[in-house]
Amino acid sequence: MVNQIPLRDFFRNPEKVAFKISPDGSHISFMAPYQHRMNIFVQPVTGRGEPTRITAETDRNIAGYFWANNQTLLYFKDNGGDENFHLFTVNTDGTGNRDITPFGDVVARLVDELPENNDEVLIALNKRQPELFDVYRFNVNTGQLLMAAENPGNIAEWLTDHEGKIRVAVASDGVNHQLLYRDTEDQPFRTIMTTNFRQTLSPQLFTPDNRFVYAVSNIGRDKSALVVFDIANGKELEEIYAHPEVDVASVIYSYKQKKLLGASFITWTTEFAFFDHGRRQLQQTLEQLLQRKVYVVDKDKEEQNFIVAATGDRTYGTYYLYNTTTGNLQKLADISPWLNENDLCEMKPITYTSRDGLTIHGYLTLPKGIEPKNLPVVVNPHGGPWHRDVWGFNPEVQFLANRGFAVLQMNFRGSTGYGRAFWEASFKQWGKTMQNDITDGVHWLIDQGIADPERVAIYGGSYGGYAVLAGLTFTPHLYACGIDFVGVSNLFTFLNTIPPYWKPFLDMMYEMVGHPEKDKQHLTEASPVFHVQQIIAPLFVAQGAKDPRVNINESDQIVNALRNNGVEVQYMVKENEGHGFHNQENKFEFYEAMEQFLEEHLHPANVTEPVTG
């Protein structure tokens, strides 16, 4: 028999997570719970100094943080999930904690940490106009916040050179993108090239001499490649790396060596192509020492001390500190030491063919302790939808597998990383071929003999929540029940209630999803709320009241429509949450309700026994 792990062990806050190191390598920082919220702690690298908690946020987890210099850290936090993130500053001893963007209904975004500048960082604020983000230069030492670049009305991205000067921008009218460049900050930007949003050249950073840029481009190719681009003259100079099957995902650069070290890409898992012998050797050394999938998550300025995460599909992972001079590898913390990976389940990559001939990549996680035949299944399409699932530890998947369910995840058409053609195949296909890809995965599982066709559920969040509603609506006999988490039900109201800072991209959304007037019939056909009479399976809906992306009205509409149709729907709303649940107590309540709902409607076999003691 397999141990039944307590539900809360999957979803409780990590013991320690998000380790980072100060630029001088003298201190490490991490996030850990304080009064059930994730806060920042700092401790010396050497000696026996105890960690010092330097923040005391009790209403909401800190969303992310970074070292501004050796004495100061900056962090982001919103209010109840509204995604109006504010930027806070705090010193390593916990003093000087204040909100540096104390403006109502304003979102703060990081533009550049300026790793080669100890005094300043660049942030973007939509303070002047809700739809637009201007760039501000924040002086960490003086606290001064000054505008560095005013958005003329169409700029969506900014890029600095190695001196911290803003010299590249990307403008957009929603459909067409313009690459802008200037030699110096006192010059006006000039247009270098214009492309449709389907063709992208995304500048990553300047070359060490500040003349050209490293960029990820799909211009003239299906799979995005890493290139050197002559930004002043609008010419691609060299293709550095391209993968035949997937897009380049990111670049690896050394500010100390002033050198491009490699690139990452995702097949079924994240992989690397290294161009530098030393960086390749470091990766091999760490993998040999740890015998796991290894990622470098941070390093000090001298690139002597590295924060390393060793992860897998059956463990959240472990953080280590590695010193390249001494070769010393120091364990910092297990993220969730209460989970025993021997009790957890393998996440296996799979492929199947869609009804129109596309290869769909995905993952199948089977429960332990039972023959993989006629199993209850939870189909779990990802959100986005222009996103993707990747191999690694997923607490939802492991929880469901531990309860006796097989879990199927699929990267349906439109999922990112598989090239432009696969992405474009999803345009105006919500509820249609995108949904067919999910349906075809279910039939594949049934044909394999793995799924019991009478015990298949569908669960997802955001677009995945939409896919739940679409699945119950357009294939009503396929699923025994569904769980919709912050999902879209009405494509018309969804497009009308997006946040103001998304509005510059509304025309692009019209091309990718559909236009409310030109594609009225299509959007009506694809909106589950207009077809609730077809829903016969039990439904559980969960929603954050402050969700800025998928307005609570989306969930209210489907719940009210079904109830008016005589169908009872289980509905959970959390007033202090937004797009997803982040507070620990809300996650506990949601997953406990999910477990009861699935047990009632799928009747999983009793293949596990509770852990005692």
Q: Which of 115, 116, 111, 112 is nearest to 134 (CA)?
A: 111
Cα–chain center distance at 505: 20
* Of 303, 227, 313, residue with least CA distance to 270: 313
Q: Distance (Å, rounded) from C-alpha 499 to C-alpha 78?
A: 15
Residues 6+ apart with CB under 8 A from 19: 28, 29, 30, 297, 298, 307, 309, 319, 332, 333
Q: What is the DSSP letter of 389?
A: -
SS3 316: coil
Measure the CA–CA gap between 437 and 354, rounded to whole angstroms.
Answer: 6
- Given a contact cutoff of 8 angstroms between Cβ atoms, the answer to whether 420 and 433 are in contact is no
Helix axes 395-402, 584-602, angle to 10 degrees: 40
Measured CA distances, 403 to 5, 218, 377, 537 (Å): 9, 43, 11, 21
Q: Which tokens go with 551?
A: 């307005």
Both tokens of 544, joined, read 């954050």
Catalytic status, residue 579:
yes
Active site residue 547: yes
Q: Torsions phi, psi of 467, nearest 5?
A: -65, -30
Amino acid at residue number 417: G
* Cβ 32 vs Cβ 17: under 8 Å: yes
CA–CA distance, 131 with 476 (Å, rounded to integer): 40
Angle at 588 between CA 583 and CA 590, to 5 degrees: 95
Beta pairing class for 451-461 and 375-379 = parallel
Q: How far is CA 104 from CA 85, 108, 156, 349, in A?
A: 10, 11, 22, 45
Q: Helix, strand, or coil here: 444?
A: helix
Active-site residue, selected from the candidate residues 547, 555, 582, 601 = 547
List the alpha helices (DSSP H) in 37-149.
none
Which residue in 462, 489, 527, 555 is the catalytic one?
462
For residue 12, give the 3-state DSSP assignment. coil
**Residue of 177, 531, 579, 601 with catalytic role:** 579
Would you please indicate which residues are annotated as catalytic (active-site) residues?
Answer: 462, 547, 579
